[in-house]
Structure 1
Amino acid sequence: MRAVVFDLDDTLVGSGLVWDQIWRDYHRRHGGSGGDIGALLGGADWTEFLADSCGTDPGQVYAECTAAALTALAEGRIRLVDGALDLLAAASLWVPVAVASAAPHRYVHAAVTALGLTGHVTAVVADEDVTAAKPEPDAYLLAAELLGQDPAACLAVEDSATGIRAAHAAGLTVLAIPNRTRPPGPDILGLAAHRAGTATAALPVLTRIIAHGEVSV
């Protein structure tokens, strides 16, 4: 592997449940009706969902929810996943590293900076940087391009069904650290060449993949 591309939310930072609460708060505050908000963590378009459900402008949804996420970050309610910084740092010692996220640009860049990831990351891709969000491959294709690598030479580290599908569709090899709140199904996990239960457990796996090529886990 010549590069590694990490997902952000719930792969590097424990933020999924914070976003879930932000969406629920917006839905309640604006009198939303119907729909499964929990499904948004599985990859639904939260801006479109909340705008339709609440009868509000998509731009308002995006701005309010992004602001709430930035507040949560500033208040310390979004923290690094245990072992994630070691995993990121180890990867960056060997190869260039990118972050590819479907979250808003302001939030992604703020999280990378506030949580001390900047020195390990060469490129960052966020929602506004691509036409189609995960599970489409655009974010991973752009990340590979920014790192100057063919997608087939890159490793993706992902937790969600949406992200695993996106990375696989882009042609990256996938190391899955399955989301514990909403774990991907067996069919999705089958797209991942490698798996680990936690970021800490993923460290030796990632090191072997980068140093020695493909390994079975």
Structure 2
Amino acid sequence: MDRIEAVLFDFDGTLWDCEPFIFQAYDECFRRHGHRLSDATWLGMMGTAGLSPWGHLEELTGGPVDRAAAERLFRRRKTELLATARARAGIRRLLDEIDRDGLRRAIVSNSDHVWITRYAAQCGIADGWAFIECADGDLVRAKPAPDLYRTALTRLGLEPEQAVAIEDSPTGIRAAQRAGLRCIAVRTLAAAVDGADAMIESFDRHDLNSLLSCVEPR
């Protein structure tokens, strides 16, 4: 098997612990209408560009919802809550190990470049990336399509066997695997994510060698 030369990270929920706060912001909007956002619905939304939950809220209420008002409330609460979000436990140490071992690392995300650079700086993980490959609103290239990962591999000059992806959502896992990559899923919101080649509970339970060994043949 080819030596792994690069690690490709999803951003939201994978590198920084934003998902609980975004879930909370959506759930507060649902609760104003007498309902809750279920874990199952949220898991289906995670990592999917352009997907809105307001249609689901209308199904629950049985009538129309002022989507513009709901979106304004969501965005305000999301911004307030995310001000306290930090990098996931163990990720800074793992990034340092990747750099010391001479591997390259890149961010591959459905989010836009401004969002990623802003919150990567907030979390203290803005430096050391080979590049950021992101959808920037392009729903055709966005995950679960493999385009972002394929472009990242091309930019690195690598074959899929020479890299590994790290994701936290079914959408991201499908994108990575469609690009031919092995994919490690990291648990988020205490929910297991099916379909990855391997799954870990948290970065702080692994060093780089044990992480990569998760996807090496026995």
TM-score bracket, shorter-length normalisation: 0.7 to 0.9
- Ranges in structure 2 where 5+ consecutive residues have no aligned partner: 59-64
Moved over 6 A (4+): 32-35
1:190-205 maps to which residues of 2 (within 5 A)?
A: 192=197, 194-203=198-207, 204-205=209-210
Shift of the 124–69 alpha-carbon distance from structure 1 to 2, 3 Å rule, reads: farther
Q: Which residue of 1 aligns with 2:62?
A: none
Q: Does 1:115 align with 2:119?
A: no
> For the residues of structure 2 that align with 1:80 and 1:169, how far apart are their CA atoms?
27
Partner residue of 2:150 out of 138, 141, 157: 141
> For the residues of structure 2 that align with 1:197 and 1:34, how far apart are their CA atoms?
26
- Ranges in structure 1 where 5+ consecutive residues have no aligned partner: none
1:102-181 maps to which residues of 2 (within 5 A)?
A: 102-128=110-136, 130-132=138-140, 133-179=142-188, 181=190
Query: Rg bigger for which structure?
Result: 2
> For the residues of structure 2 that align with 1:23 and 1:67, how far apart are their CA atoms?
11
Give the CA RMSD over aligned residues. Answer: 3.4
Q: CA deviation at 1:12?
A: 1.7
> For the residues of structure 2 that align with 1:46 and 1:38, how far apart are their CA atoms?
17
> For the residues of structure 2 that align with 1:196 and 1:34, how far apart are their CA atoms?
28
Name the structure where helix makes up a greater proportion of residues: 1
Shift of the 202–118 alpha-carbon distance from structure 1 to 2, 3 Å rule, reads: same
Partner residue of 2:43 out of 13, 31, 41: 41
Conserved? CA contact 1:90–1:207, under 8 Å: no
> For the residues of structure 2 that align with 1:155 and 1:144, how far apart are their CA atoms?
10
Shift of the 73–179 alpha-carbon distance from structure 1 to 2, 3 Å rule, reads: closer
Q: Does 1:3 align with 2:3?
A: no
Q: Give the TM-score normalised by structure 1.
A: 0.74
Q: CA deviation at 1:71?
A: 3.5
Q: Which amino acid aligns with 1:119?
A: D
Shift of the 83–56 alpha-carbon distance from structure 1 to 2, 3 Å rule, reads: same
Q: Give the TM-score normalised by structure 2.
A: 0.73
Conserved? CA contact 2:87–2:124, under 8 Å: no
